[in-house]
Amino acid sequence: MEAAVLWSPGESLEVTEVTLDPPGPGEVLVRLAATGVCASDWHTQTGRIPSPTPTVLGHEGAGVVADVGSGVEHVRAGDPVALSWMPACGACRHCRAGRPVLCTVSAPALFAGTQLNGGIRLHKGDRDLFHYSFLSTFATHTVVPAASAIKIRDDVPLGVASLAGCAVLTGYGAVVFRGGARPGSTVLIFGAGGVGLSAVMGAVSAGAYRVIVVDPQESKRTGALEFGATHALDPAQDVVAAVLDLTDGFGADVTIDAVGRPEVMTTAFDATVPGGIIVCVGIPGPDAQVQLPGPRFVREEKVVTGSLYGSSRPASDIPMLLNLYAAGKLPIDRLVTATYPLARINDALADLAAGALNRGVVVLDDQIAGLR
């Protein structure tokens, strides 16, 4: 099959033929229709996020089941699936507590670049290629853990469904699941990329009264307004003063940091109402540190929390998001700014880095992707 291989951090990806082993016990072979191009892929390519190489990147995909290994019963050949990069074991402490994205069984293998059992299914000649977040969707086919293959309704284009597996679930979940946005609340969002815009959709879906987006690019600010944001601010202005002015001096009830830079946290903290919640979604560099004003942290009872994968339950929440899309209540398809063939994967990553995309989608199979 064809795949885009990152041989070393800082290099361009090479689209080349690789070998994919058949699915083993508890694994699923998927013929991929499309994959989103995420900032995490770019950060890994540049080396900002450490990951084993050589590897096949990509972690936001959807396709059709081609084959299953022994013991797999929830999907079969021909089923449409969206892919989750956190295949929860269902038995560890966090899974049993209803927080599967913190699964202690899956996490070590995810960072090691292997399958759940420690095996490798990808090869180039006699050289093993590491998996990326279990999925490696920059390829025509992939073998994934059974729990990563989530059966979805068959009337949603797979090109749209691919985005539900990371960007949409991460942004929506940060606002709704972790942030607890309610009708009438004010939601402040830093960053208007795919995750930030998904947070906007989540805030609108939750009935927020004000949705304020902060982004340095005018086009991104305009786009956020088109997705339902009520206000869009340039970070070059006094963001805290602007937010306080818009909220009668109180501040935002829920603040989302979809950027991942420590300096954003200071502004986010100051722009959030006492008793409010700041949800950190963007991942800073490995050595980044965040400083908060100690006395105010106590006296104002602000909650600062992380949100991994939207603090979601992917097996049920991905189908839920696609139900909302099918009902016309979540315009996921509008995230797609441009589509690319796999041969242009480096162009897609460059456009992402330049801020030219809400979401770029690599179409791997025109016949089943459903994008025009």
Report if residue 131 sits inside a domain: yes
AA identity, residue 3? A
One-letter identity of residue 279:
V
Contact by Cβ (8 Å): 190, 196: yes
**364 is a domain residue:** yes
The reply to whether 173 falls in a domain is no
Of the candidates 316, 310, 211, 301, the residue with the CA atom closest to the CA atom of residue 255 = 211
68 and 189 share a domain? no
* Cβ pair 228, 208 in contact under 8 A: no
The region that residue 174 occupies, defined by phi over 0 for left and psi between -120 and 50 for alpha, beta otherwise, is alpha
Quote the longest CA-to-CA distance of the chain.
65
Same domain, 159 and 92: yes
Give pLDDT, residue 372: 65
| 8 A C-beta contact, residue 211 and residue 231 | yes
With vertex at residue 35, the alpha carbon angle to CA 125 and CA 128, rounded to the nearest 5 degrees, is 20
Domain boundary among 254, 276, 306: 306
Model confidence over 27-43: pLDDT tens digits?
Answer: 999 999 999 999 999 99
Q: Packing angle between helix 194-205 and helix 218-226, nearest 10 degrees?
A: 30
Residues 29 and 160 in one domain: yes
What tens-digit pLDDT sequence spans the chain (372 residues)? 999 999 999 999 999 999 999 999 999 999 999 999 999 999 999 998 889 999 999 999 999 999 999 999 999 999 999 999 999 999 999 999 999 999 999 999 999 999 999 999 999 999 999 999 999 999 999 999 999 999 999 999 999 999 999 999 999 999 999 999 999 999 999 999 999 999 999 999 999 999 999 999 999 999 999 999 999 999 999 999 999 999 999 999 999 999 998 889 999 999 999 999 999 999 888 888 888 898 999 999 999 999 999 999 999 999 999 999 999 999 999 999 999 999 999 999 999 999 999 999 999 999 999 986
Tell me which of 306, 336, 360 is where a domain ends. 306
One domain, residues 245 and 323: no
* Together in a domain, 73 and 117: yes
What is the predicted pLDDT for the residue at 285? 80
| DSSP-derived secondary structure for 156-194 | S-HHHHHHIIIIIHHHHHIIIIIS---TT-EEEEE--SH
pLDDT of residue 279: 98
Task: Give the alpha-carbon dihedral of 169, 38, 25, 33, to 10 degrees.
Answer: 90
What is the CATH number for 204?
Answer: 3.40.50.720
* Joined tokens for residue 228: 């339902």
Whichever domain contains 82, its CATH number is 3.90.180.10
Same domain, 8 and 157: yes
Q: Note whether 10 and 62 are same-domain residues.
A: yes
Residue at a domain's end among 306, 327, 360: 306
Q: Do 234 and 265 form a contact (C-beta atoms < 8 A)?
A: no
Pairing of strands 336-340, 359-363: parallel
Helix residue spans in 211-301 (DSSP H):
218-226, 239-246, 262-270, 294-299
Specify whether 242 is located in the same domain as 318.
Answer: no
Q: Is residue 174 part of a domain?
A: no
The model carries a pTM of 0.95
Give CA–CA dist 130/258, Å, rounded. Answer: 27
Query: Is 87 a domain residue?
Result: yes
Tell whether 325 and 346 lie within a shared domain. yes
- Dihedral in degrees, nearest 10, Cα atoms 159, 99, 227, 282: -90
Question: Residue 159 falls within a domain, yes or no?
Answer: yes
Range of the domain at 234: 180-306
d(CA 249, CA 22): 60
pLDDT of the residue at 199: 98
Q: How many domains does the chain have?
A: 2
* Pair (15, 112) in one structural domain: yes
